[in-house]
Structure 1
Amino acid sequence: MPTKIAESLGSKLADQWVVTLLTPAFVFWGGGLLAWAWRFGWGPLEKWFTSLTPTVQIVVSIGALLAVVISSAVVKRFDFLMLRLLEGYWPRWPGIEKLRGRLIDRKADQCDQKEEQRNKLYQKGWDNLSREEREEYIDLENYLQYIPGRTMLLPTQLGNTLRKAESHADRYGLDTIVCWPHLWLLMPDQARQDLTEARASLDTAVRLFTWSILFLLWIGLAWWILPISFIVAFYAYRWSLLNAKSYSDLLMASIDLYRDKLYEALCWPLPTDPADEKKKGQVLTSYILRGSEQSLPRFVRNNSHANPKKKIVSASF
């Protein structure tokens, strides 16, 4: 009987075991087990497990699998919260607010210095720069590319990278928070898939960081828990920063390339120049957010954006 149960469970849960073995949740629980054995030895655990009947051993094994799966699902629910904390959206407690302000001021001074260095190199002209100066200029440009405006700075590099992308639509007069759900529905499938995969990679890196912090729960059992947790957390943060840059690049590119579709879908006339776009983008954002009873601008229908020769049917708001 136990053999048949084991075979049945093995056939049904094999794939789940393979997936679970590769998750940080399994490493967390496995590391905790190793830390416990480091402290107390394998003997007591082995003696206890072998004293169980085969059926109870199977139940215990299933319980261990469920613990890994359930804990993985629970931690996944906190991906967004951990991401916000890594960005620098911290509780508004007096001490934390003071620390946050100091870090932002320090980040602002650092950005000012790097921008000044970049400008000095730019004024020299590319052809007049040495190889070292060209490499320095490229590094400075790459750094400043993911920095938002001074008034929008966050205390962490990860937060600034994502905020830069979130505020990218401002140059077109659009508000990302208001317009993004509408724009998302208008984007091509491939673009949406690329963005989804980039965001999933970012969430995975953040989840690994969460598990590295939770790994400290075993620190009372073994001294090596602390360095392992620190190394994994450092790697996870650097990985999340790389993924955040990739995600931000795709987000900003999507706004650049597909913002016209927002005008077309809402039957608004396309902007005629950058200055006009800034103004129309602000009005369009307000229209999406609050609606309007104004008679202008006129709606543009019948795919007139794609074919200007077609007759335009106009209607007031």
Structure 2
Amino acid sequence: MLLVLSAGASLLAVLLQPFQVRAVRVLEGYWDRWPLTAGLATVLIDMQRRRWESLRKRAVMAADADATTRRVRADAARRLSARPPMDVLMPTALGNALRAGELRAGERYGLSTLASWSRIHMQISDRAAEVLHSTRDALDAAVNLCWCLLALTPLSWAALYDEPGLWWVCACVPFLAAVAYKGAVTAAQAYASLMYVVYDLHRFDLAEALHYRLPAGPQDERELFGRVSDLLSGRGMPDLPYEHGAAPDTND
């Protein structure tokens, strides 16, 4: 029986592969399409906001307090930095971990992350791509494992209802699903951190690929990337000069 359950989990993982994006988005908390889940999302977002506010209060505790208080303050600040702003919180921890990267990585430089990510991703180095894809694979694997274990929870009870000696197996399945979900959140936080790194190192590669002149300073940079964001979001063409480099020598 355990062999059948394992085989079922493997088959489910294969079937989930074509729907990988949807599998991740459901666990992120994109539930607004259905009235029942939309209501649940509202309740969970309120819970996330209370947690966010609690972390904020701990993060601004007196800096001259004792060592324990300073550690609590530092931990709260770290956890708060891994969450998006309170007004755009998602219902789940996984959704908040990914949204933090989606809304902040490029915005620090005036560049819309959601609009530019697919373009800047094509400019990254092979070394960065390897690390990024490895982290994304870990996230997808954890999400698939979580879904498989969730699907196996009712199946295990149905298969082992007349085997009291194996009920512990049924109880372990949802626990392992929770562990897999926690692993997905950890991988998502690492992936979001790598998104920050990509924009730190490769945002000017995106400007060069679009043949726009590189900015002379921070203010010019924000203006340039603000206009590039308008272009990538479909809000019109930026009025910017092109920089095509030196013309080829036709005398050779």
On whether the aligned pair clears a TM of 0.5, the verdict is: yes
Check conservation: 1:82, 1:206, Cα contact below 8 A. Answer: yes
Q: Find 2:150's aligned residue among 213, 229, 233.
A: 213
Equivalent residue, structure 1, for 2:241: 298
Q: Find 1:193's aligned residue among 119, 130, 141.
A: 130
Give the residue type in structure 1 aligned to 2:159: L
Q: How far, CA to CA, are the matches of 1:293 and 1:218 in structure 2? A: 57
1:251-270 aligned at under 5 Å gives the runs 251-270=195-214
Check conservation: 1:88, 1:154, Cα contact below 8 A. Answer: yes
**1:204 positional shift:** 0.8
Query: Residue by residue, what CA displacement relative to the aligned partner does 1:16-53 show, whole Å, maximum 9, x if unpaired?
Result: xxxxxxxxxxxx961638xxxxxxxxxxxxxxxxxxxx
Greater C-alpha radius of gyration: 1
Equivalent residue, structure 2, for 1:279: 223
Query: Residue by residue, what CA displacement relative to the aligned partner does 1:151-170 show, whole Å, maximum 9, x if unpaired?
Result: 21101111101001011212
Structure 1 residue 173 corresponds to structure 2 residue 72 = no
Check conservation: 1:206, 1:240, Cα contact below 8 A. Answer: yes
Check conservation: 1:29, 1:68, Cα contact below 8 A. Answer: no
Check conservation: 2:83, 2:96, Cα contact below 8 A. Answer: yes
Please list every run of at least 4 consecutive aligned residues from structure 1 whose deviation after the TM superposition is greater than 4 angstroms: 67-71, 291-294
Give the residue type in structure 2 aligned to 1:106: M
Equivalent residue, structure 1, for 2:5: 32
Structure-2 change in CA distance of 1:96 and 1:288 (3 Å): closer
Q: How far, CA to CA, are the matches of 1:112 and 1:68 in structure 2? A: 39
Check conservation: 1:215, 1:225, Cα contact below 8 A. Answer: no
Q: How far, CA to CA, are the matches of 2:10 and 2:50 in structure 1? A: 45
Q: Percent identity between the aligned chains?
A: 27
Structure 1, unmatched stretches of 5+, are: 1-27, 34-63, 304-310, 312-317
1:79-94 aligned at under 5 Å gives the runs 79-94=20-35
Query: Residue by residue, what CA displacement relative to the aligned partner does 1:162-182 show, whole Å, maximum 9, x if unpaired?
Result: 001011212322222321222
**1:99 positional shift:** 2.0
**1:273 positional shift:** 3.7
Q: How far, CA to CA, are the matches of 2:227 and 2:2 in structure 1? A: 54
Aligned Cα RMSD in Å?
2.5
Structure 1 residue 112 corresponds to structure 2 residue 53 = yes
Check conservation: 1:183, 1:262, Cα contact below 8 A. Answer: yes
Check conservation: 2:13, 2:145, Cα contact below 8 A. Answer: no
Which one scores higher on RCO, CA 8 angstroms, separation ≥ 6? 2
Structure-2 change in CA distance of 1:210 and 1:292 (3 Å): closer
Q: How far, CA to CA, are the matches of 2:173 and 2:11 in structure 1? A: 22
TM-score by length of 1: 0.68
Q: How far, CA to CA, are the matches of 2:236 and 2:45 in structure 1? A: 38
Check conservation: 2:9, 2:152, Cα contact below 8 A. Answer: no
Q: Per the alignment, in what secondary structure is the counterpart of residue 72 of structure 2?
A: helix
Across the two proteins, how many residue pairs are aligned to each other? 239
Equivalent residue, structure 2, for 1:44: none
Give the residue type in structure 2 aligned to 1:230: P
1:38-49 aligned at under 5 Å gives the runs none
Structure 1 residue 138 corresponds to structure 2 residue 74 = yes
TM-score by length of 2: 0.84
**1:70 positional shift:** 5.0
Q: How far, CA to CA, are the matches of 1:226 and 1:274 in structure 2? A: 57
**1:293 positional shift:** 5.7
Q: Find 2:141's aligned residue among 198, 204, 207.
A: 204
**1:233 positional shift:** 0.6
Give the residue type in structure 1 aligned to 2:135: A
Equivalent residue, structure 1, for 2:189: 245
Give the residue type in structure 1 aligned to 2:136: R
Query: Residue by residue, what CA displacement relative to the aligned partner does 1:217-274 show, whole Å, maximum 9, x if unpaired?
Result: 1311223343121111111011111111111111111112211111122121223443
Structure-2 change in CA distance of 1:103 and 1:273 (3 Å): farther
Give the residue type in structure 2 aligned to 1:265: A
**1:91 positional shift:** 4.5
Q: How far, CA to CA, are the matches of 2:91 and 2:25 in structure 1? A: 12
Structure 2, unmatched stretches of 5+, are: 161-166, 248-252
**1:72 positional shift:** 3.7
